[in-house]
Amino acid sequence: MVGPGGLAADLLVPGGFPAAFLSATATLSTGNDFFTSRFLWFLLGSFLCGSIPFSWLIARARGIDLLRQGSGNPGATNLSRVAGRKFGTLGLSLDVTKGAVPVLICQQMGVDAVQSLLVGSLAVLGHCFSPFLRGRGGKGVATTGGVLLVLEPWIAALMLLAWGVGRKLTGSVGMASVGAAVTGVLISTPLLLGTDQVERWLRTADVNGTSGKILGAVLLVLSSLVIYRHQSNILEYCQRCREGSPR
């Protein structure tokens, strides 16, 4: 719960935000059967699934190297820019799918909520740092969305709404993605603090609130990664603002 001193106070006092984050991450090491061999295979499979560079493959099939054209990013936005919206939409759909499928498989196999969150996170990391592209990859927005659509649809809906508003206001897909990621960071804060009003909306909630804190930690890390990978978009937008033409 947020204390009487407000959110700022809870961030500073012992047991506030830093302690909540450490408590959430420390939970991963409890229990001797958490990192089972089966779970490790799920993690590896999810990473490899996320690593498949669908947009790059679609472009190559049309004789285009996304790493050398447009923004140089092998993601769906650049695919849309250099090959057309139809192919960009296909790449986007496949990026969402490769985030959702590993989590859906885990749920069918009886993997718990915390493990499913980590499996989904590995799909996002695979997308951002694909070994098939020598560590290069997309920016993680669509694949993160796929993970959240399966695990927490309301969070995905809020971030999609933020993306739509950002796209309308800025005219920039990159800045819209940053807006969605900032929304993810804001949602992660009450989750890490264990705020009951937020946790009761979670599909992955458990009786002791552990999964809510883990979800907050994972959402914070993934959203921060998305913001980090959009540095060039942020700098470009700031430059356009200084020149008086942000759109």
What mean pLDDT value characterizes the chain?
A: 84
pLDDT on residue 224: 94
Separation between Cα atoms, residue 229 and residue 53, nearest integer Å: 17
pLDDT on residue 12: 43
Whole-Å CA distances, 127 to 53, 73, 92: 7, 12, 12
| Interval 64-81 mean pLDDT | 93
Separation between Cα atoms, residue 140 and residue 103, nearest integer Å: 16
pLDDT on residue 211: 72
Estimate to the nearest angstrom the gap between the alpha carbon of 114 and the chain centroid. Answer: 15
Separation between Cα atoms, residue 2 and residue 192, nearest integer Å: 11
pLDDT on residue 246: 64
Residue where the block lists tokens 């940053």: 178
| Interval 75-94 mean pLDDT | 94
pLDDT on residue 247: 61
Mean pLDDT lowest among 94-108, 196-210, 214-228: 196-210
| Interval 153-160 mean pLDDT | 93
Q: What is the pTM of this model?
A: 0.81
pLDDT on residue 19: 53
Neighbours of 144 (CB within 10 A): 31
Separation between Cα atoms, residue 237 and residue 172, nearest integer Å: 8
Is a pLDDT exceeding 60 seen at residue 222? yes
Is a pLDDT exceeding 70 seen at residue 2? no
| Interval 141-150 mean pLDDT | 94
pLDDT tens per residue across span 98-120: 999 999 999 899 888 888 989 99
pLDDT on residue 190: 87
Is a pLDDT exceeding 80 seen at residue 181? yes
Backbone angles phi, psi at 189, to 5 degrees: -60, -55
| Interval 226-243 mean pLDDT | 88
pLDDT on residue 88: 95
pLDDT on residue 69: 93
Is a pLDDT exceeding 80 seen at residue 177? yes
Is a pLDDT exceeding 50 seen at residue 207? no
Mean pLDDT lowest among 31-45, 86-100, 166-180: 31-45
| Interval 36-42 mean pLDDT | 88
137 contact partners, CB below 8 Å, separation of at least 6: 51, 53, 74, 75, 126, 127, 128, 129, 130
